[in-house]
């Protein structure tokens, strides 16, 4: 029982980070109807950026976080302007292939700049220990949980109370209306990419703090897709709920089944099994809108 609870609690914290990364995906999808396959590679870049600012440059954690976010903002703006804007209004395959190509380029850049090596910065994040009953929550998980919750709350406030947030929600609702009242859709797209990059990079730093930065961080993006599909692609709340569910399920399934299966690695394929099951039985996820098509 204790083992089970331990798995659930760490899974919950991990799931919150997944949810944060998935939110970046959902925001881009809602605002500009682009399925961003490169979301996982933002996480990868984030993990390595965290290493660069913390270890070789030796910045304090807050400065490092600020620098990483600044880099993410520049990255988001550049990607939107150079890659996505020329393809406005193209069919879904073109958009998806361009984001896949983007992901390989980001992977290539990470290889070039950091040599695709394992870079650890374990223990550089602040430590907090918490014990509930007999379950001790690892410090990294707790930090991940806290930061993710802060980010999600900040995003909610952005959408609720700022002008650009309102513009983004309106664009998600109806592009033509937004354009007719003089809101620049391209600004909204740019902001959505910036937000996606920033949450991806923050997620990368959090995950990098747990397990170090390496090329496998990009695979978190695939887990984020499972989260998004489970929650419904156009629901931010759904992404949070599904992120937590998936994080816990994954941890519990890996904890109990990995010793039974030769070769292990169930955690790696688990999101895909969830994906297929969701796609077959409930293609629009738990909270997604069912799309009605007309000729």
Partner 1 sequence: MGLRWGTFQENYAQDMAIFRTRLDWGMLFTFLIFLFACPLFSSDRILTILTMMGIAVISVHGLNILTGYCGQISIGHAGFMAVGGYTSAILCAKLGLPFWAALPCGALAAGMAGLIFGLPSLKIKGFYLIMATIAAHFIIIWTIIQLRSITGGPDGLSVPKPTIGGIVLSSKANYFYLVMVITCLATLLAKNIVRTRAGRAFIAIRDNDLAAEVMGISLWSYKLQAFFIGCVYAGVAGSLLIHYFSFASTDQFPFFDSVWYLGMLIVGGMGSTTGAIFGAVALKLLDELVTMVGPILSAAVAPQAAASLALISHGLIIIIFLIFEPRGLHHRWEMIKAYFRLWPFSHEVLE
The upper half-sphere exposure of residue 6, i.e. CA atoms within 13 Å in the direction of its Cβ, equals 10
Work out whether 273 is an interface residue with partner 1 (CB under 8 A): yes
Does 90 help bind partner 1 (rule: CB under 8 A)?
A: yes
115 binds partner 1 (CB under 8 A): yes
Of 236, 180, 183, 211, which Cα lies nearest the Cα of 47?
A: 211
Residue 117 Cβ vs partner 1, minimum distance, rounded to whole Å: 8
- Site residues for partner 1, 213-232, by CB under 8 A, read 222, 225, 229
Site membership for partner 1, residue 73 (CB under 8 A): no
DSSP per-residue string spanning 120-181: --TT-S----EEETTEEEPHHHHHHHHHHHHHHHHHHHHHHHSHHHHHHHHHHH-HHHHHHT
**Does position 93 bind partner 1 by CB under 8 A?**
yes
Assess 150 for contact with partner 1 (CB under 8 A). no
Instruction: Find the binder of partner 1 among 5, 63, 261, 289 (CB under 8 A).
Output: 261
- Using the rule CB under 8 A, is 63 a contact of partner 1? no
Separation of alpha carbons 134 and 242, rounded Å: 27
Cα–Cα distance list, 53 to 65, 207, 216, 284 (Å): 8, 15, 20, 40
Distance of closest approach, residue 274 Cβ to partner 1, in angstroms: 9
Count of residues that bind partner 1 according to CB under 8 A: 44
Q: What are phi and psi of 130, to 5 degrees?
A: -145, 135
Q: Which residues bind partner 1 (CB under 8 A)?
A: 35, 83, 86-87, 90, 92-94, 96-98, 100-105, 107-109, 111-112, 115-116, 222, 225, 229, 233, 261-263, 265, 268-269, 272-273, 275-276, 279-280, 283, 293-295
């Amino acid at each position: 029982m204790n083992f089970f609870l331990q798995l659930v609690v760490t899974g919950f914290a991990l799931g919150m980070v997944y949810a944060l990364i998935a939110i970046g995906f959902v925001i881009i999808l809602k605002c500009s109807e682009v399925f961003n396959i490169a979301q996982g590679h933002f996480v990868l870049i984030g993990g390595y950026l965290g290493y660069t600012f913390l270890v070789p440059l030796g910045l304090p954690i807050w400065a490092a976080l600020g620098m990483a976010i600044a880099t993410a903002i520049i990255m988001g703006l550049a990607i939107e302007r150079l890659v996505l804007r020329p393809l406005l209004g193209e069919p879904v395959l073109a958009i998806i292939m361009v984001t896949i190509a983007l992901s390989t380029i980001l992977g290539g850049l990470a290889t070039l700049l950091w040599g695709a090596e394992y870079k650890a910065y374990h223990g550089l994040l602040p430590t907090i220990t918490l014990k509930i009953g007999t379950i001790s929550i690892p410090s990294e998980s707790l930090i991940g949980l806290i930061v993710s919750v802060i980010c999600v709350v900040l995003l909610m406030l952005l959408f609720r109370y700022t002008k650009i947030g309102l513009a983004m929600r309106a664009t998600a609702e109806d592009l033509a209306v937004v354009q007719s009242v003089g809101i620049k859709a391209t600004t909204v797209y740019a902001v959505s990419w910036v937000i996606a990059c920033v949450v991806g990079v923050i997620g990368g730093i959090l995950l990098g703090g747990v397990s170090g930065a390496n090329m496998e961080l990009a695979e978190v993006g695939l887990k984020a897709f499972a989260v998004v599909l489970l929650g419904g692609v156009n629901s931010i709340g759904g992404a949070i709920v599904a992120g937590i569910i998936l994080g816990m399920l994954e941890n519990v399934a890996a904890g109990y089944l990995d010793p039974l299966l030769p070769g292990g690695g169930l955690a790696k394929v688990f999101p895909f099994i969830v994906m297929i099951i969701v796609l077959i039985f409930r293609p629009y996820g738990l909270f997604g809108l069912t799309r009605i098509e007309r000729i």
